[in-house]
Structure 1
Amino acid sequence: MTSIAGESHIVRASDTINASAQAVFELIADPAIQPRWDGNDNLREAESGQRVRAVGDVFRTTLHSGAVRENHVVEFTEGRAIAWRPAEPGAQPPGHLWRWEVEPLDEDHARVTHTYDWSQLTDPGRLERARDTTSGKLQASIDRLGRLAESD
């Protein structure tokens, strides 16, 4: 893997959302809703009916460029945590990971942590885009997610 000394390969953002943990998690676990809160402005659409339920699930998203990604779910705890590794259709994931953790604080508040981990990224062609994924973009996703959850 190519990297620059001192460069962080894991970026993270965390914030409190004024909605129940379950309401927040439902918005994350349903890929059809993901384009509405994507702070990277990368996702164009995802078909409905792909709600994630377990490790091993694969859901498909379409990027604004028209490229399709198969997202391989590698971590899942209902209502609490989900992580996936995107890949081109039929290919092995090149090593980056998107993770969401939702911690209930009380009935109407949840602490949400969004992580992008590209420490195992093996495709040099994806490094520039990985570097452009900042904690600010992750925070934008949390902010958008919060607005959706709080409006329901």
Structure 2
Amino acid sequence: MSEQNSVTVTRTIDAPNEDVFEALTKVENHERIDGSGFVRSLDTGDRITAVGQVFTMNMEGDHMGGEYQTDNHVVGYDKDKLVAWKTAPAGTEPPGWQWVWDLNPVDPGHTEVTLTYDWSHVTDKELLKKVSFPLVSAEQLEESLKNLAALALEK
């Protein structure tokens, strides 16, 4: 039996591809996009425009004992098509999980968005004992896509 190491959800959003991408890459929107309830606010960061950027989020969750911060290292960027980042506790290197957002225009007014939460590169045995992956369910990821759809329609 193979071990699951990622969760992927897809939704067609009734908004132009550019509007969806603009809403997603504005990191101050991530509190509103997040369907898990962990993201509280943006600490530091600008709109995502390139691989190598880092943005820091204020978070809260029982799995980390309450309030904490994450540094999100942008590892994938293709304008209007892809954004990906690896998350790490603030001030540390990413331990192996990432978020990948793929955008595919269906037609001028609709965009298919696929969100993948992937923890396949987590190798730290102590971390794997402490954190029970997945921390975010498929339903919570679907909520994130629903929230992104609402933001894209605000434009």
| TM-score when normalising by structure 2 | 0.87
SS state of the match for residue 67, structure 1?
strand
Q: Is residue 127 of structure 2 the alignment partner of residue 131 of structure 1?
A: no
Distance verdict in 2 for CA 1:6–1:97, change over 3 Å = same
Query: What are the Cα deviations for residues 81-122 of structure 1, in whole angstroms up to 9, with x where unaligned?
Result: 010001122211010010101111121110000000001113
5+ long unaligned stretches in structure 2: 61-65
Preserved CA contact (<8 Å) 1:114 1:138: yes
Distance verdict in 2 for CA 1:20–1:126, change over 3 Å = farther
Q: Give 1:48 deviation, angstroms.
A: 6.9
State the match for 2:31 in structure 1: 35
Q: Percent identity?
A: 33
Greater strand percent: which structure? 2
Q: Which of these residues, 143, 147, 150, is aligned with residue 147 of structure 1?
A: 150
Query: What are the Cα deviations for residues 109-138 of structure 1, in whole angstroms up to 9, with x where unaligned?
Result: 10000000001113225531x224222111
SS state of the match for residue 131, structure 1?
coil
Preserved CA contact (<8 Å) 2:44 2:55: no
RMSD (Å), alpha carbons: 1.6
5+ long unaligned stretches in structure 1: none
| Number of aligned residue pairs | 147
Q: Give 1:47 deviation, angstroms.
A: 4.3
State the match for 2:46 in structure 1: 50
- The one-letter code sitting in structure 1 at the alignment partner of 2:31 is P
In the alignment, the residues of structure 1 paired with residue 10 and residue 85 of structure 2 have an alpha-carbon distance, to the nearest angstrom, of 18
- The one-letter code sitting in structure 2 at the alignment partner of 1:6 is S
Q: Is residue 23 of structure 2 the alignment partner of residue 22 of structure 1?
A: no
- The one-letter code sitting in structure 1 at the alignment partner of 2:84 is A
In the alignment, the residues of structure 2 paired with residue 91 and residue 20 of structure 1 have an alpha-carbon distance, to the nearest angstrom, of 36
In the alignment, the residues of structure 1 paired with residue 107 and residue 152 of structure 2 have an alpha-carbon distance, to the nearest angstrom, of 15
Preserved CA contact (<8 Å) 2:45 2:54: no
| Displaced runs of 4 or more, over 4 A | none
- The one-letter code sitting in structure 2 at the alignment partner of 1:127 is V
Preserved CA contact (<8 Å) 2:102 2:113: yes
Distance verdict in 2 for CA 1:126–1:140, change over 3 Å = farther
State the match for 1:62 in structure 2: 58
